[in-house]
Amino acid sequence: MQLFISCDMEGTAGVCSWSQCDPENRHEYPVFRRLMTLEVAAAVEGALGGGASQILINDSHWSMHNLLLDELPPRPEIRVISGAPKPWSMMQGLSDASDAAFFTGYHAKAGDAATLAHTFSDDVHCVTVNDVACSEALLNAALAGSYGVPVLMITGDRAIVDETLRHLPWAVGVSVKDPIGFSSVNSLPPSAARDAIRKGAREAMGRVGNARPFTFQPPLELRIETAAVEHADFIELLPGFTRIAGRAVRATAGDYPSLFASFLAATRIAAAANRPS
């Protein structure tokens, strides 16, 4: 059983501010980097106990080299992808050779009244696929689904766990904290969060027979509402995108990987609007 894990940081137990997630913060980030790593390790331990034979972990937060590798189980069947940029971002390494996927440390989507809510970039106000408002979890789950890979578990704040399970009811959700506001949470202690994740991962592996890939049915339409007009100005320059409002663009595709690639390209070029030429 080959398992793919995409691990983010904002959904880690106790995380409530950008400073805790920012690699340039030399005081808080090292603490929460370790807590992120230990939650991933708990997911790995539970998955191995539930029958996983190979595990590929994609470090998916910020600079994408956050995991403390020597804090992961010392097992030869584990591999880790680190660093950025990666062509497929949070889903680098996933393929049709994977049998299932886990998402750990995930967070609510842009526009939600939840802690550190965003969707890939602060430049994105809202993104929809076929009129469905999408989080990072849903966008990534659909890419997994396009390869026939079901998502078996998601961990993070209650907002993203509950929303994801509405679309993926076969998955195990492990909520490690409740959002209070954008920068406040009511959280489990880290050790209790890891126990819950370990248990959830083992349970999730037992659901693989009843799980199914999440997909959007073609024709596929992507809409992005940006945070500012200048972000849409930049995205409009990309082939395949059409400006539909001051802060909104639209693209279509015949298959989901192409649509997902368009979204990643759009968010990356929008970021350029924040930098002088």
For the cut 50, the answer to whether the pLDDT of residue 43 exceeds it is yes
For the cut 60, the answer to whether the pLDDT of residue 276 exceeds it is no
Exposed/middle/buried for 274, CB within 10 Å: 0-12, 13-18, 19+?
A: middle
Q: What is the mean pLDDT of residues 78-84?
A: 98
Q: What is the mean pLDDT of residues 45-70?
A: 98
Model confidence pLDDT, tens digit, residues 127-147: 999 999 999 999 999 999 999
- Domain ranges across the chain: 2-112+136-205, 220-274
User: Among 21, 92, 99, 90, which residue's Cα sits nearest to residue 54?
Assistant: 99
For the cut 50, the answer to whether the pLDDT of residue 82 exceeds it is yes
Q: What is the mean pLDDT of residues 123-127?
A: 96
For the cut 50, the answer to whether the pLDDT of residue 177 exceeds it is yes
Domain 220-274: which CATH number of 3.30.200.210, 3.40.50.10470, 3.30.1360.130, 3.90.320.10:
3.30.1360.130
pLDDT band of residue 106 (cuts 50, 70, 90) is very high
Amino acid at the residue 196: A
User: Among 226, 260, 198, 268, which residue's Cα sits nearest to residue 46?
Assistant: 198
Q: Would you state the structure tokens that stand for residue 128, as one six-digit string?
A: 């929809």
For the cut 90, the answer to whether the pLDDT of residue 209 exceeds it is yes
Distance of CA 66 to the CA centre of its chain: 15
Domain 2-112+136-205: which CATH number of 3.60.20.30, 3.40.50.10780, 2.40.110.10, 3.40.50.620:
3.40.50.10780
Give the pLDDT score at 271.
86
Triad 143, 148, 151: Cα angle to 5°: 65
The Cα 98–Cα 103 span in angstroms is 14
Q: What is the mean pLDDT of residues 102-123?
A: 97
The Cα 266–Cα 264 span in angstroms is 5
Give the pLDDT score at 272.
80
For the cut 50, the answer to whether the pLDDT of residue 277 exceeds it is no
Average per-residue pLDDT for the chain = 97
For the cut 80, the answer to whether the pLDDT of residue 273 exceeds it is no
The Cα 211–Cα 72 span in angstroms is 27
User: Is 186 strand, coil or helix?
Assistant: strand
Q: What is the mean pLDDT of residues 1-21?
A: 98
Other beta carbons within 10 angstroms of residue 122's beta carbon come to 16
Percentage of residues of the chain with pLDDT beyond 70: 99
Give the pLDDT score at 182.
97
The Cα 226–Cα 190 span in angstroms is 35
For the cut 70, the answer to whether the pLDDT of residue 202 exceeds it is yes
Give the pLDDT score at 275.
59
Long-range CB pairs of 64-68 (<8 Å, 24+ gap) are 66/9, 66/23, 66/33, 66/36, 66/37, 67/7, 67/33, 67/36, 67/37, 67/40, 68/33, 68/34, 68/37
Give the pLDDT score at 146.
98
Q: What is the mean pLDDT of residues 210-236?
A: 97
